[in-house]
Amino acid sequence: MQGERTIRVLIAKPGLDGHDRGAKVIARALRDAGMEVIYTGLRQTPEQIVEAAIQEDVDVIGLSILSGAHNVLFPRIMELLRERGIDDILVIGGGVIPHEDIPFLKECGIAEIFTPGTPISQIIDFIKNNVKK
Amino acid sequence: MELVEGILKKDKKTAARLITLIEREDPKAIDALKKLYKHTGNSYIIGITGPPGAGKSSLVNELAKKMRAKGKTVGIIAVDPTSPFTGGALLGDRIRMQDLTLDPGIFIRSMASRGSLGGIAKAAYDAVNVLDAFGMDYIIIETVGVGQTEIDIVKVADMVVVVLVPGLGDDVQAIKAGIMEIADIFAVNKSDREGADKLVTEIEMMLDLSQKEFDLKPPIIKTVATTGIGIDELEAKISEHLSYIQNKGLLEQKRKEKTREKFMELIKFHISKMIFQEKGDIIETLLKDISNKVIDPYTAMEKLLQSIIKGE
Ligand SMILES: Nc1nc2c(ncn2[C@@H]2O[C@H](COP(=O)(O)OP(=O)(O)O)[C@@H](O)[C@H]2O)c(=O)[nH]1
Ligand SMILES: [Mg+2]
């Protein structure tokens, strides 16, 4: 008898910006959608995020960023994941990210970017339809 | 074989994957656990329990740092409740343990209780064995304890630290029934707050009134997890307790009891599962007869047993 498949998500805030209200709202919404959400708190380095994702064996990493450093931090996280031989984690991003940056981030391997105002139900559906494990 | 090899080579990715397979009740997990069993029994397992927000995760963070400073490796399992309505869970213990994330001698796993009563995830028992076989010197299990639920932790841990905080009013009264029996050490955390000494006195009084014969009376240690005050003492008392129970043979005895209990549970679970699968029809027929007063439940039970013994 197999237990039912529960989606595990790591919500992380890379970079130095100082509040995490948005990340917490998402974390709660995903929990309410039946997912197990590991919340790691503020000011995470890419190295910490990737290590936590490995130990927690998550299906999804949700990155939330407001500081504008996404063009540096997001690719770095993808690079570290590749270095560790991980290609089965769905990585999505959100926060204040200008539209013109999105194609570059997707090229780096971020599956989707959700800008402010995206209904949370859309994020939930995206995760459910795209988990790789 | 890959899973087993990975664990024995201390590969964290493999450990993480095996714990996931355990949570999913994947048959591959059982296979691996069978082979890992002989490599277990070498870690000290410490339970940390107490009400939500008491500072358990912060204390675990500080304790783990102390243990690392002494050259010991630490596995941490942090269990939080699954929402009974949605099946989801918010696991926030890592927020307080960020300092530990990149330490090669630390492995942290957050687990949701997933339907098991008693606060501890069913899978946590097996996850402990994974980290044990992995070679962690200490395994710390953090569970939320309110009322009865903290009691399950004793089924896994060699010793239990109960964390309380001042200012929760009647809290000690409310939770004392469960806690008196299981605490090997009390940590009065947030002792930077008013009421810490009063709480210490209350706990002392409860211990004095308790009927329990202590091999070792639980020490009460005031801590401030956010600044590190009292952590040296807490860590020292934990080592002291572990040495004491080891030297007196109490640890071995306790582990034997735990093994027995675990095996009995396993037997009960699988035997009843087998009976319900194989004898479902007979059980239903008997049940109808019992309802219609054609037969009484005792005779029905004897008939069922007969059919199991003769059957096959
Ligand atoms: N004032 C004070 N706050 C603390 C202390 N220990 C933990 N906290 C804070 O209490 C909150 C809950 O801590 P946490 O470790 O997550 O508690 P847990 O739910 O028991 O794991 C956090 O905001 C901590 O910073 C302490 O000794 N004193
Ligand atoms: Mg906690």
Taking only the tens place, the pLDDT of each residue in A110-127 is: 999 998 889 999 999 999
Ligand 2 midpoint to CA B290 (Å): 49
Contacts of B108 in chain A (CB under 8 A): 52, 55
Number of domains forming the structure of chain A: 1
Residues of B in contact with A62 (CB under 8 A): none
Residue A13 placed within a domain: yes
- Every domain range in chain B assigned CATH 3.40.50.300: 2-247
Contact A84 B23 (CB under 8 A): no
pLDDT at B222 over 90: yes
Closest Cα to atom 10 of ligand 1: B55
Cβ contacts of A2 on chain B, cutoff 8 Å: 24-26
Name, of A117-121, B147-151, B200-204, B228-232, the range with top average pLDDT.
B228-232
CATH code for the domain of A19: 3.40.50.280
Looking only at Cα atoms, what is the longest distance across chain A?
48
* A1 in a structural domain: no
Q: What is the pLDDT at residue B81?
A: 87
* Ligand closest to CA B80: 2
Q: Which of A13-27, B67-81, B131-145, B186-200 is the least confident region?
A: A13-27
Cβ of A39 and B86 within 8 Å?
A: no
Question: Measured between alpha carbons, how far apart are the two ends of chain B, in Å?
Answer: 34
Cα–Cα distances in Å, from B45 out to A62, A109, B56, B129, B138?
33, 40, 16, 10, 6
d(CA B188, CA B199): 8
Query: Is A70 contained in some domain?
Result: yes
Minimal CA–CA distance to A84: which of B127, B245, B16? B16
Specify the higher pLDDT residue, A30 or B178.
Answer: A30
Q: How confident is the model at residue A2 (pLDDT cuts 50, 70, 90)?
A: very low
B258-306 confidence digits (pLDDT tens): 999 889 988 998 899 899 999 999 999 999 999 999 999 999 999 999 9
pLDDT at B146 over 90: no
- Among the partner-chain residues A31, A34, A56, the one whose CB lies closest to the CB of B16 is A56
B286 exposed, middle or buried (CB, 10 Å; 0-12, 13-18, 19+)? buried
Count Cβ neighbours within 10 Å for each residue of B125-153 and write b for 16 or more, e otherwise. bbbbbbbbbbebbbbbbbbbbbeebbbbb
Output the CA B305–ligand 1 centroid distance in Å. Answer: 54
ipTM of model: 0.94
Q: What's the rounded Cα separation, in Å, for the pair A6 and B136? A: 27
Gap between the Cα atoms of A95 and A113, Å rounded: 8
Q: What is the pLDDT of residue B122?
A: 72
Question: Smallest Cβ distance to A40: which of B86, B98, B102?
Answer: B98
Q: Residue A122 sits in which domain range?
A: 8-130
Distances (CA, A) of B229 to A25, B222, B226, B233: 33, 8, 8, 9
CB-CB: which of B19, B91, B114 is closest to A37? B91
Tell me the C-alpha distance between B209 and B211, whole Å.
6
Residues with CB under 6 A from ligand 1: B 52-58, 93, 96, 189-190, 192, 224-226
Asked if the structure places residue A29 within a domain, the reply is yes
In order of A28, A83, A98, A103, the CA distances from A91 in angstroms are 18, 15, 18, 15
φ, ψ (nearest 5 deg) of residue B32: -65, -40
pTM above 0.80, yes or no: yes
* Residue A96 resides in a domain: yes
CATH topology for B2-247? Rossmann fold (3.40.50)
